[in-house]
Amino acid sequence: MNLQEHKKHSVIARPSFGNYARQEWAFLGTSCGAIKTLADSIIGALSPEYACGYVDAQHLKDEEEATLPARLEAGAQAEYTDQITYSQFNYKEPLSSFRFREMFSAMDLVLVNGNHQQAKAQVIILDENKRGSLQKRVSQLTNVQLILLTDSVTEVFDFVKQAVPNWQDLPIYKLTDTAEFGSFFRKQLQNATPVLNGLVLAGGKSVRMGQDKGAMEWHGKEQRYFVADLLQELCQDVFISCRPEQQASLSDTYRYLPDTFTGLGPFGAILSAFREQPNAAWLVIACDLPLLDAKTLQYLIENRAVSAIATTFESPHDGFPEPLITIWEPKSYPVLLSFLAQGYTCPRKVLRNSPIQMLKPFNPDALINVNTPREVEEVKKKLR
């Protein structure tokens, strides 16, 4: 093997982040004040449904000098202030793109002042007063998706036509057409809704039951296969989560996803799924729900909140979120990893401490899980 063939680090699937988030746009071509006004308009229209972020830089007058907040000046590396109506963090050291993506990971879109920062997609604003400024930033026009014209401009600048070969295929609106370009961003977010995969949790050791819960037959076939069949009608791809040593003994009719985060139970199974496909959402279902039906799953999907990290049911037993019949969105992946880094492997704890959509179950019996032989007999009575 030569040096070119050698790979020092493992290659795994990466989330489709830009500099800050999966969906991000930099605005270029006009004044910073106009960009802020435009961002306010878009965020105001979208924020009831989507989590929005904004990136800019401090604007100082010529005679002003940037100064550090007092605690950072004294030597602190970070400072948190509870501002009552919002929270404020100050950091002394510059933040890398890795930290930015971590901090903005819960955002559905991030709007960026392109006069100071860059993003993986751009919106050009053609302003005659800022023609020269935009021309200096032609190299940043790598993925233009929208062109806006100020009142003083009636056609696209020649240097923009050269820099953006497909400019005629792009939507072009007047800056005053707020409804038009507002619908553009809404459509972009709708088109970016993550695909929904299904994951059947069948890798447990079933110690309390005394037999493999996934192999128990409640509806004429092993429960892990019964649940997988339910999900086939609702999800793009369906996998059965299992321990690596289990797979050889399972039916080759189904697709499997062996745990790569081992020894962590359902928490590890969810992380293993995101490691495989980090840009998909995962409808995670335990294999010990014998009364689960398609209507319950359909109701969960129809009320899915993409902007939350997860959509789940309220447990009829204790009122807490039910983590093992839940749609976990891609934005939950870094949240799960952060809990793991702090020593927590409880999916319910993640849900209880995160922004989620929690639904009242219209059929509470569908959420009954069976872990012991006594519970088996109770469910058999309900089935009869």
Contact in structure between 290 and 218 (CB atoms under 8 Å): yes
Given 127, 162, 191, which residue is the final one in a domain? 191
Amino acid at 102: E
Q: What stretches in the chain show pLDDT beneath 50?
A: 1, 207, 210
Beta pairing, strands 196-201 & 238-242: parallel
Hunting for tokens 């070119």 — which residue is that? 4
**How many Å from the N-terminal Cα to the C-terminal Cα in the chain?**
64
Residue 1 covered by a domain: no
Same domain (yes/no): 316, 378? yes
Same domain (yes/no): 78, 208? no
For the whole model, what pTM was predicted? 0.92
Same domain (yes/no): 226, 90? no
Number of folded domains that form the chain: 2
CATH number assigned to the domain comprising residue 181? 3.40.50.300
Residue 34 covered by a domain: yes
Residue 341 covered by a domain: yes
Same domain (yes/no): 207, 356? yes
Residue 10 covered by a domain: no
Given 142, 159, 191, which residue is the final one in a domain? 191
Domain of 298, in residue numbers:
196-383
Same domain (yes/no): 369, 273? yes
Same domain (yes/no): 358, 282? yes
Residue 29 covered by a domain: yes
CATH number assigned to the domain comprising residue 339? 3.90.550.10
pLDDT value of position 369 = 79
Given 158, 191, 224, which residue is the final one in a domain? 191
User: What is the Cα–Cα distance from 200 to 372, expressed in whole angstroms?
Assistant: 20
pLDDT tens string 257-286? 999 999 999 999 999 999 999 999 999 999
pLDDT tens string 150-190? 998 999 999 999 999 999 999 999 999 989 988 999 999 99
**CA-based angle 111:134:23, to the nearest 5?**
20
Contact in structure between 267 and 227 (CB atoms under 8 Å): no
Same domain (yes/no): 225, 347? yes
Hunting for tokens 């793109």 — which residue is that? 97
Residue 336 covered by a domain: yes
Same domain (yes/no): 118, 258? no
pLDDT value of position 207 = 44
Same domain (yes/no): 75, 131? yes
Contact in structure between 225 and 251 (CB atoms under 8 Å): yes
Same domain (yes/no): 74, 214? no
pLDDT value of position 11 = 86
Residue 169 covered by a domain: yes
Structural element, H or E, at residue 52: strand 52-55
Same domain (yes/no): 85, 139? yes
The CB density around residue 5, as the number of other CB atoms within 10 Å, is 6
Residue 14 covered by a domain: no
Same domain (yes/no): 206, 339? yes
